[in-house]
Structure 1
Amino acid sequence: MAAPSMGSALWRSLRAYQVYGANTDVGKTVMSTILCKAMMRRFPDEKTWYIKPVSTGPQAEADDRHVARFSESSTHCLFQFDQPIPPDSSILQKILSQLSSYALTGRGTAFLETAGGVHSPTPSGTSQADFYRPLRLPVVLVADHRLGGISSSISAFESLHVRGYDIDFVLLFRDSRYQNDDYLSKYFQEHGISTLSLPSPPARRFHGQEDEEAMVEYYDRVTKLDEVGEMISMSEARHEARVKSLESMSSRAYKHIWYPFTQHRDISPSSIMTVDSAHGDFFQTYRPDGLNPTAPPSKSSNLTRPTFDGSASWWTQGLGHANPKLSLSAAYAAGRYGHVMFPGGIHEPALSLAELLLHTLNNPRLQRVFYSDNGSSGMEIAIKMGLRAAASRYGWDDERNGKEVEILGLKGSYHGDTLGAMDCSEPSAFNQKVQWYRGRGFWFDYPRVKMVKGIWVVQPPEGMEGELGSEATFASLREVFDIESRKKGNNDAYYRKYITNTLVKLIKDEGRRFGALVIEPVVLGAGGMMLVDPLFQHTLVQVIRSAHCLFSPSPLPSLPPHTWTGLPIVADEVFTGLYRLGRPTSSSFLAIHPDISVHAKLLTGGLVPLCATVASESVFESFLGKEKSDALLHGHSYTAHAVGCKVAETAVKMMVGMEKKGAWEGFKKDWLDVPPHTSSTGPGIWSHWSRAFVNDLSYAENVEGVIAIGSILAISLHDRTGAGYTSTAANTLRETLFNRSGADWNVHSRVLGNVLYLMASQTSKMETLRSIEGAVRGALL
C-alpha cells in the first residue's frame, strides 16, 4: 500500500539540501553549480547530484544542463513546465524517490533547486514555501545582491523560518555598488546563520565559446576559495550533528523528562518516539533504519518515516500540523502585541474571538466569554461559576450551615487534572492516589451506544435494566440521535423516572446539596471514549431544569428568558466541541443549550494553548456585588493571550469556512447516501471513518463494540479481567499499528484501557483515512 503522506528526507549516507532564492534572477543555478563542483572537489570519491523538480524555461537553456556542463555532477529534471504536470503529492513523491535512489548508491550530496523566489507558485498554484515543506530539507538561501535585495532576502528568510525550515547557509554575490553582502552578513550572523559572499560571475560574452570558457574559469577559481571549502566542511559537520542529535534524543529524554500519564517503569529509550517534525496529519519520526525498528542501522534508509497522528496530538490537532495560516496568525499577534495584561483592558484578538465564538456556538443563553490557558483550568472556572450561581440564588452559606456543595455528573466522566476539576469526577485510576482528591458529587450511570455485529445498540449498564429499560437496537446512528422521535417511546419514561427518583433520594432523603450538572456531551473522552445515549443526557438536563422544588423550598420566581433554572448546566466541550463531531457544538446533538460551556483543544487548531469558558448573563450576574470578593477571582498570567486569541479566531473561521464550502461532503455522502430500503442516517450524523469499515469492525472476533462519529473512531476490545483504564487489552493492537512490518508508514495511537481510539483531523484527506482503515482491517479482521 502506498504511503498516505510524504516523509521528510534524511539519510546517513546522503547530505541533501534545498536551494531557495530570495527572488528571481538572483543566481540560484550559478550557486547550485558552485555547490555541486565544490562538493565534488571536497569529496572526490563520492557522488554529487542536482535535481530540478520543475523546469520553467526552454530545454536549451535548462538549469540542469548548465549544472551538468560546468560541474560534471549528475543532474535530473523531473518535469517540464510545458508538459502535463502530475498532482503536488506525486511531484513530492517523485523527489523523495529520486533522493532515496541516490542514498542507495553510496555516500554523496544532492541539491534540489527551486524555481523563482520563495513564494513563486508551483504548477498547481501552491507557494513553494508550503509545497516543499513536507520534505524539510535544510536550506541554502541565495540572497539578492541587487538594489532592494536586503528587503527581499530578509523577507524570504522570515517566510521560510516561520514555516519551520532550517536555513544552513545564506549565499550571495558581492556588489560594490550596494554592499548588500556586508549588511546581510551581519543580519544573518545575529540569527546564527553563516553567510558567504562570492565573486559575481563574468558578464555574458557575445560569442558562445568565449562565454563558456569564462564560466569554466570562474567556477574553477571560485570553488577553490578557502571560504567555500570551509562552508562545505561545515555542511558535512551539520549533517552529522543532526543525525547524532536524533539518535541520542530518546536516551537524553529518558534521563531528564517526566512524561504525563506514563508509568516510567514501562518505558525505555527504545520505546520513546522521536519526532523530527510534523506536517498535516503526520509526524515525521526517527527510526534507525527508517522502516524496521528492529533492524540494524542502514546508511541507505531514510531515517524518518510518516507516522499518522492517531490521537490528533491529544485531541488538539484539527487543521494539520504546521498549518501556515495558523503560524502566520501567531506571528502577527506576537509581533503586534506579544502579551498584554488583560484585566480592565481589551485588545482586538480577544474581542473578535469572543464575538465569533458566541455567534458560532449559536446558543441564546450564552453572553460572556472568560479566557484561560487550558481545558482543565476552563472547567475549574465553569465549576466556580455554576456553584456561585446556585449558592447565590438559593441563599446557601457554607460557613454557617456546614453543608458541602457537590456536583451532579456521569460515571466515567473526567474533566481535567487540576484539583477542582478532578473533584468533579468519581474515584478512578486518574485520582485514586492524589492525596487531596475528595470526589464531591454524584455520578449517574447511563446507557451506552455502540455498534455490535452491524447493529447500533443502546445498552443499559449490567443490572440496571429494571431502572433504565432493556437493550434497544437501531438501524442507523441517526435513529439513535432522533431525540424527538425517541421521546415517544419507553426509554424516555424510564430515564425520567430513574433520574427523578435518584434526585429525590439524594436531596430529600440524604440531605445532599448540589450546585451544578456537569456533563461531557455525547462522548466521554478520557473515561474511555464512551458514547452516551443522547436521549439520556437530554432527559437528564430537562429533569434538572424543571426540578426547582428539589433544590429550594421557595417557589420559582418569574425569571427573564434564557435564565438558568434548577441547576446551572455545564457542558464540558473541551474535547467534543468545535466540529470534533461534525458540528460547531456537541450540545446541539442533545437538543440542549447549556448555561456554561467550555471550549479548548480544537479552539486553536492545535497550535497554542487557550480555553474559553462561555457563560450566560444570569450566571455572570451572580458575581456582581459591592465587594471585591464577590467577583470571580480567577485568572492566569496569560489570560486572553493575544497570540492564542488570534490563532483561535483564525482556526474557528477556517473550520466554519470548511463547513460552508462543503469540505466534508465526501465523508457525509458515505453515511447519508444510503439505499432507499434502509434507514437514512439523516443530516448531521456522520463520520470521517467509512460506514462499511465501522460495520466490518463490529463483526471482528475480539471486538466488543465500535463507535464512530465525526472524527472519532473508538474500538472496544474484549477484556475478561474487567481492569478498566488499567487494562492492557488494546496494547497489542496499538503496537501492531505502530510497527507495521514492511510498511513505509505507521500509525501512532493511544489506548484507554481496553479501548483503542483513532482521531482524524478536520483536514484529513479521505485517501489517508482509507489507508489507515486498511491497516486496522489487517490487524483485526
Structure 2
Amino acid sequence: MTSPVWHPFTQHGLNEPIPEVVRAQGALLHLADGGTLIDGIASWWVTTHGHCEPRIAAAIARQASQLDQLIFAAYTHAPAEEVASGLIDMAPRAEGQPELAHVFYSDSGSTAVEVALKMALGYWHNLALDGLADARSRILVLEHSYHGDTIGAMSIGERGVYNAAWTPLLFDVGTIPFPATGQEQACLDALEAACADKPAAFIVEPLILGAGGMLIYPAPVLREMAAICRRHGVLFIADEVMTGWGRTGTLFACEQAGVVPDIMAVAKGITGGAIPLAATLATAPIFDAHVSTDRARLFYHSSSYTANAIACAAAAANLAIWREEDVLVRIATLADGIAMRLARLTTHPAFANPRQLGTIMAIDFVAPDAGYLSDLAPRLRSFFLEHGLLLRPLGNTIYLMPPYCVDADQLDTIFAALHAAGEKFGAQP
C-alpha cells in the first residue's frame, strides 16, 4: 500500500527508500526492520544531547499531566516564564551593547525569523508614527543565506530552486556578497554602502551558512558587520536557529564575535531536539516601540500553540542541562574528535575544501555537477543508508553535525563510510 504521507524535501518520483524509525536513543535510530542508523546530522540539526534524553523526556511527561496547552494571549504559565528568564540569562552579552531583554515564542526556525522581521519593521513603523524616525522597510541579507520556508523567510534567503515556484510572493531585498576568503573587505564595503541608504535591518546566519553549503566566515567579519549596522542605526538580526545551542563551539555563535544582536532567533536545539519550540529575543528598544496605550499598536503575531506548556517544559529541562552539566566540555571533545578524523580524510583525491566550526564539519565531493541538485547526492544518501548512517548531503557537500553524545566508535564508523564513499564514487565521471 502506498503511504499517503507527503515528505518534506523528498522527490517521491524517485522512489527512494523511506525507512521507518521505531525508536531512538542517544545517537542511534532503531528501524522497523531491526537495523540501526547513526544519526550523523542530529535529525536535521535539532538533537543536541541525544535522542530521548532522560531529563527532557521526564519533564515532558510531568508537564503533560499538569498543563498541556494554554492560550498565550494575555495568559502565562510557569514553564514559559522559566524559559524566558533562562534565555535572557544565557543570551550573548558584551560591554557597551544593549542586552537582549524580551522573549517572543513561536514554533519553528522559520516562524522565529518571521517574527524577527516583523519586530524590525514594526519598530521602524512605530517610531515613524511618533515622529522619531523616518520609516524604513528594506531588509539586507547575506548572499547564499537560508532562513526558512515561510514567505518572509524565503524572501530573505538565496533565490533559486528552493523557492523559484513562489517568486511572485517574495519581497525584494538587498543582498550583501558573502565574505569568502580574500573577499572579506568587499563584503564589508558593500554593507557600509547599503547601510548608508537607511535600510531597516540586516539579517545573518552568524559564522556559518547552513543550507547554503556550510560556508564559514571568521568572527572578526561578523563583529565588523554588527559595528557597521550600529554606526548607521540599522537593526542587526542574528539567525541562531542552526548555530545556537553549542553547534559552533559556544552556546551561541555571536559570542565568538563579541556581538549582541538587536534581535536573535533561536529554535532547533532549544528543547534539545525533543519537541518543536522557537523564540525570538529582542532588546528593550524593540519591545518599547510596540508598547502603547493604543491597542492598535500591539505586536500582531501569534500561533495557536505559542509557548505550548509541554514544549516549554522540555526547553526548561534543556536549559537546566546547560547550566548543570559540562556540555561545552563534551562539545570540545567531540570537535577535537571530528578534527582528527577529518584531517585523515583531506588527503583523499575525491574530496576538497574541508572545513569545520565546532561540531559542524563539511567537505565537498569532487563532482562534475556541483550544487544542490548534483546527481551525486541521492547516490550518496543511499550509500550511507546501506552503511548504517543518516547523512544527508547538500548536493555534493557532505556535512556532519551529530548529537553531542556520539562516541568515538560511532565517529570511526561515520568517517570510514566517508572514506569508502570516496573510493566508490571518486573515480566515476
TM-score by length of 1: 0.51
Question: Superposition pairs for residues 640-719 of structure 1, below 5 Å?
Answer: 640-659=307-326, 662-664=329-331, 666-667=333-334, 687=335, 689-719=337-367
CA contact (8 A) 1:579 1:655 kept: no
Question: Superposition pairs for residues 319-358 of structure 1, below 5 Å?
Answer: 319-358=49-88
Q: Counterpart of 1:226? A: none
Percent of residue pairs bearing the same amino acid type: 29
Q: Counterpart of 1:260? A: 8
Q: Counterpart of 2:230? A: 545
Question: Superposition pairs for residues 98-247 of structure 1, below 5 Å?
Answer: none
Query: For 2:31, which of 278, 281, 285 is the aligned residue?
Result: 285
CA contact (8 A) 2:46 2:269 kept: yes
Question: Superposition pairs for residues 340-379 of structure 1, below 5 Å?
Answer: 340-363=70-93, 365-379=99-113
Query: For 2:253, which of 586, 592, 595 is the aligned residue?
Result: 586
Distance across 2 between alignment mates of 1:631 and 1:622: 10
Q: Counterpart of 1:47? A: none
Q: CA deviation at 1:502?
A: 4.6
Q: Counterpart of 2:386? A: 739
Q: Counterpart of 2:149? A: 417
Tell me the alpha carbon deviations over residues 194-243 of structure 1, each in whole angstroms, 9 at most, x when there is no partner: xxxxxxxxxxxxxxxxxxxxxxxxxxxxxxxxxxxxxxxxxxxxxxxxxx
Q: CA deviation at 1:643?
A: 0.5
Q: CA deviation at 1:498?
A: 4.0
Distance across 1 between alignment mates of 2:405 and 2:292: 46
Tell me the alpha carbon deviations over residues 120-170 of structure 1, each in whole angstroms, 9 at most, x when there is no partner: xxxxxxxxxxxxxxxxxxxxxxxxxxxxxxxxxxxxxxxxxxxxxxxxxxx
Deviates more, 1:697-706 or 1:591-600: 697-706
Q: SS of the counterpart of 1:577?
A: coil
Distance change (3 Å), C-alpha of 1:323 and 1:692? closer
The amino acid across from 1:769 in the alignment is: L
Query: For 2:212, which of 527, 540, 546 is the aligned residue?
Result: 527
Q: CA deviation at 1:495?
A: 5.1
Distance change (3 Å), C-alpha of 1:436 and 1:655? farther
Say whether 1:602 aligns with 2:269: yes
Distance across 2 between alignment mates of 1:661 and 1:431: 36
Distance across 2 between alignment mates of 1:520 and 1:764: 25
Q: Counterpart of 1:631? A: 298
Q: Counterpart of 2:237? A: 570
Task: Kindly indicate whether structure 1 or structure 2 has the higher relative contact order, using CA contacts under 8 Å at least 6 residues apart.
Answer: 2
Q: SS of the counterpart of 1:626?
A: coil
Distance across 1 between alignment mates of 2:116 and 2:14: 36
Q: SS of the counterpart of 2:326?
A: helix
CA contact (8 A) 2:270 2:315 kept: yes
Distance across 2 between alignment mates of 1:404 and 1:390: 6
The amino acid across from 2:124 in the alignment is: A
TM-score by length of 2: 0.90
Say whether 1:427 aligns with 2:94: no
Distance across 2 between alignment mates of 1:657 and 1:583: 16
Q: CA deviation at 1:311?
A: 2.0
CA RMSD of aligned residues (A): 2.4
Q: CA deviation at 1:584?
A: 1.3
Q: Counterpart of 1:437? A: 169
Distance change (3 Å), C-alpha of 1:739 and 1:496? closer
Segments of 5+ residues of structure 2 without an aligned counterpart are 424-429
Say whether 1:729 aligns with 2:376: yes
Deviates more, 1:727-736 or 1:329-338: 727-736
Q: CA deviation at 1:519?
A: 0.7
Number of residue equivalences: 417
Distance change (3 Å), C-alpha of 1:652 and 1:765? farther
The amino acid across from 1:322 in the alignment is: C
CA contact (8 A) 1:495 1:539 kept: no
Q: Counterpart of 2:408? A: 766
The amino acid across from 1:341 in the alignment is: I
Distance change (3 Å), C-alpha of 1:536 and 1:638? same
Distance change (3 Å), C-alpha of 1:661 and 1:418? closer
Q: CA deviation at 1:619?
A: 0.4
Tell me the alpha carbon deviations over residues 14-69 of structure 1, each in whole angstroms, 9 at most, x when there is no partner: xxxxxxxxxxxxxxxxxxxxxxxxxxxxxxxxxxxxxxxxxxxxxxxxxxxxxxxx
Q: Counterpart of 1:95? A: none
Distance across 2 between alignment mates of 1:261 and 1:396: 45
Distance across 2 between alignment mates of 1:706 and 1:349: 42
CA contact (8 A) 2:105 2:279 kept: yes
CA contact (8 A) 1:391 1:515 kept: no
Tell me the alpha carbon deviations over residues 228-271 of structure 1, each in whole angstroms, 9 at most, x when there is no partner: xxxxxxxxxxxxxxxxxxxxxxx542xx1111112221125xx1
CA contact (8 A) 1:283 1:308 kept: yes
Tell me the alpha carbon deviations over residues 84-118 of structure 1, each in whole angstroms, 9 at most, x when there is no partner: xxxxxxxxxxxxxxxxxxxxxxxxxxxxxxxxxxx
Deviates more, 1:713-722 or 1:306-315: 713-722
Q: Counterpart of 2:426? A: none
The amino acid across from 2:234 in the alignment is: L
Distance across 1 between alignment mates of 2:211 and 2:313: 28
Tell me the alpha carbon deviations over residues 342-384 of structure 1, each in whole angstroms, 9 at most, x when there is no partner: 2222211111111111111243511101111111111111101
Q: CA deviation at 1:306?
A: 1.5
Q: Counterpart of 2:279? A: 612
Distance across 2 between alignment mates of 1:380 and 1:698: 39
Say whether 1:751 aligns with 2:393: yes
Distance across 1 between alignment mates of 2:333 and 2:247: 17
Distance change (3 Å), C-alpha of 1:283 and 1:778? same
Distance across 2 between alignment mates of 1:633 and 1:395: 16
Q: CA deviation at 1:586?
A: 0.9
Segments of 5+ residues of structure 1 without an aligned counterpart are 1-250, 287-302, 449-457, 461-467, 469-490, 508-512, 548-565, 668-686, 741-745
Distance change (3 Å), C-alpha of 1:637 and 1:337? same
Distance change (3 Å), C-alpha of 1:730 and 1:262? closer
Tell me the alpha carbon deviations over residues 702-753 of structure 1, each in whole angstroms, 9 at most, x when there is no partner: 222122222212122234445x32223344333322213xxxxx11111212
Distance across 1 between alignment mates of 2:299 and 2:252: 26
Q: Counterpart of 2:40? A: 310
Q: Counterpart of 2:114? A: 380
Tell me the alpha carbon deviations over residues 570-602 of structure 1, each in whole angstroms, 9 at most, x when there is no partner: 111011101122211111122211011111100
Distance across 1 between alignment mates of 2:374 and 2:257: 31
Distance change (3 Å), C-alpha of 1:325 and 1:359? same
- The list of structure 1 runs, each at least 4 consecutive aligned residues, that deviate by more than 4 angstroms after superposition, is 394-397
Q: SS of the counterpart of 1:546?
A: helix
The amino acid across from 1:755 in the alignment is: T
Q: SS of the counterpart of 1:278?
A: strand
